Amino acid sequence: MNAISPSLAKMHGRKVTVHYGQKQALFDVDLDVPERMVTALIGPSGCGKSTFLRCLNRMNDVIDGCKVGGEITLDGQDIYDQKLDVVMLRARIGMVFQKPNPFPKSIYDNVAYGPRIHGMAGTKGELDEIVRSSLEKAGLWNEVKERLDQPGTGLSGGQQQRLCIARAIAVSPEVILMDEPCSALDPIATAKIEELIDELRENFTIVIVTHSMQQAARVSQKTAFFHLGHLIEWGDTEQIFTSPKDERTQGYITGRFG
């Protein structure tokens, strides 16, 4: 059995299905996301990794014709409950995208934006402190502390991605979703983000979509392999990479397809 004790799982997905219009993209996916670990979603292009990731903070809600079925819970609470405040949900479950997408604002304002709209700081001093600590946790403070008033878009790609991570952290999320966060970055910037992910798992639950099996092996403790909209298997990363149970997983990790 793959299911883990409810007390250990931060999020549960049960029989999750997704349709884009007539086309079904996910079929009865059952996946648990354990707390304070990194879960990697891997599989060939078009297998549904990003679709599943977006289910976890209801980002699919904004896609026309997209219909999500089944159940997804956060700390036991149904995140698709009609009464749930989606803005609050997205504060609890932050997201970092493939391409760094800082706002056209200063470095400071990029990080301060979320805390301001959620009324998290009573004074300028408190806001300054949130900005500083978020940039520190994202490993960017020393590089930007002298130029907080300069545009976020003026940073290098890797710095921009760390700024986006700082922006996500600033509202104190519990879960951070990352959709191929290094795909637009060079190897040095990628290594920095991977180190950062490893540090962040002390405080956050992380789910990452990656095309790179090396990256999944380096950063995650749990790995889930998707194929043609089905979750084929998931478990400890080491087990998935050394002794997968399904031959499709074996085929993918040994590079026979994908």
Residues that bind ligand ATP (CB under 6 A): 20, 23, 25, 43, 45-51, 63, 211
Q: Cα(40)–Cα(87) distance, rounded to whole angstroms?
A: 25
Nearest to 100 by CA among 140, 141, 51, 57: 140
Nearer to ligand ATP, 28 or 35 (CB): 28
Q: Cα(121)–Cα(80) distance, rounded to whole angstroms?
A: 29
Cβ 93 to ligand ATP, closest distance in Å? 17
3-state SS, residue 229: coil
Cβ 55 to ligand ATP, closest distance in Å? 10
Nearer to ligand ATP, 51 or 190 (CB): 51
Sequence-ordered list of residues with C-beta below 8 angstroms from that of 225, at least 6 positions apart, any chain: 42, 43, 231, 232, 233, 234, 240, 244, 246, 248, 249, 252, 253
Nearer to ligand ATP, 38 or 231 (CB): 231
Q: How far is CA 109 from CA 66, 116, 145, 224, 250, in A?
A: 33, 9, 13, 36, 46
Cβ 251 to ligand ATP, closest distance in Å? 16
Nearer to ligand ATP, 7 or 22 (CB): 22
Nearer to ligand ATP, 20 or 103 (CB): 20
Cβ 211 to ligand ATP, closest distance in Å? 6
Cβ 59 to ligand ATP, closest distance in Å? 11
Strands 77-78 vs 66-74: parallel, antiparallel or unpaired: antiparallel
User: Maximum Cα–Cα distance for the chain, whole Å?
Assistant: 57
